[in-house]
Amino acid sequence: MSDDSIPQLRGYDDASLDRAFASLTADLERGAGSLNGADAVEQFRLEWLGRKHGRLKTVSEAWLKTAPPEARRPLGQRFNGLKERIEALLTDAAAGKHRAATGAAIDVTLPGTRPQLGAEHPIVRTWHEAVRIFAAMGYSVGTGPEVETDYYNFESLNFPPNHPARDTQDTLVVVGQERKPLRDRLLMRTHTSPVQIRTMEQQPPPIRLVIPGKVHRNDAADATHSPIFHQVEGLCVDEGITFGDLKGTLDHAMKAFFGSSVKTRFFPSFFPFTEPSADVQISCIFCGGKGCRKCKHSGWIELLGCGMVDPAIFGFVRQKQPAYDPEKISGFAFGMGLDRIAMMKYGISDIGLLFSGDVRFLEQFA
Ligand SMILES: [Zn+2]
C-alpha cells in the first residue's frame, strides 16, 4: 500500500527506516513553523493525527501492518517518537494561543511590577563625596594597584627593612616570594600611600592628588575592624606649601563633610613618611562638642592622620623626577578611613555590615 502523503519506505533495515522518518520529521517541523491561529492548528492536527486520513494513520497502515516481526520494534519506536513530537508541537501551539489571549485582556487597573532600583553603597557614596570635596579644591584623583611591591608599600615611604613601624601594619603577603629581593616581593597594599610615590615618579610638581581606594590588613574582624577597608589620602606638593595650608585644607574638608559648625584640632603624632606629623580630631558630630557616649564624653572624635611630607620621601622620588628637590619644594599629606566616615555619617555600628552584601541592610541607603 502506498500514499502520496508519506515517503516511500525502501526496506525495513535501520537505514531505510531512519531515512523515511527523517523525511516525515522534516515535513512536520516545516508545517509547525506556520501555526498561526486556531484554524491553522486544527488543520495541522488533522493532517498528522486525523483518524481517517492523518499521516500517522497512513504510516500505520502502510508500514506497521506489513512489517516483518523483527522490524516491528524499531519501526514502533520511531513511530512513537514522531507521535510524541506532534503532540508536543500541538501543546506548544495551544500555550501560545493562551498567551495571546491573556495579552489581549490586559487589566490596566492592576498595579505594575516595579523594577528594583539600585543605589550607591554607603562606602561608594562616601568615596564620591570625598572626591567631590577635594576636586572642588583643584585635586585630581589617583589610583594604583592593590597588589603592591614591598618597595612602594614600605621602603619608598620611609619604612626601611626591619623598621618597627612595619609591625603596626599587619601585612598580607603573596606566597612564594621568598627568592626575590625584599623590595620586589608582592603584598596586599596596607594603605593607599604607594600611589603618592607612583604619581610623583610620573609627574613633576605641583601635585594636588586625592587617592581613594581599598586596602588590606591581617586584622581579625570585629565591630570596628575588617581585613578589607577603604582609605582616602591626599597629597599636595608645590613650592612654599606650609603646615598652615594643611590645616586650612583639612578644616575646610571636614566642614564640607560634616557641616560648617564642625571644628578641627591637631595633635603631634608620628608617621614614617611625614615630619612633623599630626592626628586630627573633629568636634563630635553627634553632640556638637558637649560630650556624649559616642565621643566618650570628650566632645572630640579622632578622624585623620596627616603631616608635612618628610624630605626623605622626595629623595626616593628624585631618582626619577629631579624636580622633587627638598630644598625647593614642600608638601603635605593626609589620610583617613572611608569606612569610618561612612559609619559615622550613616550611624552604622558594625563595619562588617558594609561588606556582608545583605540587601536588607543596604536598601536603607536607596
Ligand atoms: Zn559626642
pLDDT score of 1: 44
Residue 191 Cα to ligand 1 middle (Å): 28
Q: Which three cell numbers stand for residue 238?
A: 608645590
Q: Domain spans of the chain?
A: 14-102, 122-365
Lowest mean pLDDT among 71-75, 111-115, 188-192: 111-115
Edge-first strand listing for the sheet containing 140-141: 140-141, 207-216, 228-238, 330-337, 300-309, 274-283, 264-271
Residue 264 Cα to ligand 1 middle (Å): 14
List, in order, residues 6 or more apart from 264 with CB less than 8 Å away: 247, 250, 251, 254, 280, 281, 282, 283
List, in order, residues 6 or more apart from 220 with CB less than 8 Å away: none
Q: Which three cell numbers stand for residue 351?
A: 563595619
- Report the alpha-carbon distance of residue 120 to residue 365 in Å, rounded: 7
- Report the alpha-carbon distance of residue 7 to residue 69 in Å, rounded: 21
- Which listed CATH number (3.30.2020.30, 1.20.120.330, 3.30.930.10, 3.40.50.300) goes with 122-365? 3.30.930.10
Residue 347 Cα to ligand 1 middle (Å): 13
Residue 212 Cα to ligand 1 middle (Å): 27
End-to-end Cα separation, the chain, in angstroms: 75
- Strand pairing category for 274-283 and 264-271: antiparallel
- Report the alpha-carbon distance of residue 364 to residue 119 in Å, rounded: 9
- Report the alpha-carbon distance of residue 156 to residue 198 in Å, rounded: 10
Residue 245 Cα to ligand 1 middle (Å): 28
Q: Which three cell numbers stand for residue 311?
A: 624630605
pTM: 0.67
- List the shell of residues around ion ligand 1, using CB closer than 5 Å: 284, 286-287, 292, 294-295
Residue 304 Cα to ligand 1 middle (Å): 17
pLDDT, tens digit (0-9, with 9 covering 90-100), for 143-160: 999 999 999 999 999 998
- Report the alpha-carbon distance of residue 11 to residue 297 in Å, rounded: 99
Catalogue the E-assigned strands of the chain: 140-141, 147-149, 186-188, 207-216, 228-238, 264-271, 274-283, 300-309, 330-337
Residue 290 Cα to ligand 1 middle (Å): 6
Average pLDDT over residues 80-87: 92
Residue 283 Cα to ligand 1 middle (Å): 8
Mean per-residue pLDDT of the chain: 90
Residue 137 Cα to ligand 1 middle (Å): 29
Whether the pLDDT of residue 263 is over 90: the answer is yes
Residue 289 Cα to ligand 1 middle (Å): 6
What's the farthest any 2 CA atoms get from each other in the chain? 109
Residue 279 Cα to ligand 1 middle (Å): 18
CA proximity to 345, closest of 311, 298, 301, 307: 301
- Report the alpha-carbon distance of residue 158 to residue 348 in Å, rounded: 35
pLDDT, tens digit (0-9, with 9 covering 90-100), for 200-212: 999 999 999 999 9
CA proximity to 272, closest of 338, 191, 336: 191
Between the alpha carbon of residue 19 and those of residues 16, 40, 122, 138, 289, the distances in Å are: 5, 28, 66, 78, 91
Residue 348 Cα to ligand 1 middle (Å): 16
Residue 292 Cα to ligand 1 middle (Å): 4
Whether the pLDDT of residue 104 is over 60: the answer is no
pLDDT score of 40: 87
Residue 284 Cα to ligand 1 middle (Å): 4
Residue 237 Cα to ligand 1 middle (Å): 35
User: Which amino acid is residue 239, in one-letter code?
Assistant: E
Average pLDDT over residues 347-357: 90
CA proximity to 190, closest of 239, 154, 140, 156: 154
Lowest mean pLDDT among 160-164, 271-275, 280-284, 297-301: 160-164
Whether the pLDDT of residue 297 is over 60: the answer is yes
Highest mean pLDDT among 23-37, 166-180, 321-335: 321-335
Residue 197 Cα to ligand 1 middle (Å): 37
Helix, strand, coil percentages, rounded to 5, for the chain:
45, 20, 40
Report the 10 Å Cβ neighbour count for 171.
Answer: 17
Highest mean pLDDT among 35-44, 69-78, 228-237: 228-237
336 — pLDDT class (breaks 50, 70, 90): very high
Residue 267 Cα to ligand 1 middle (Å): 19
Residue 164 Cα to ligand 1 middle (Å): 34
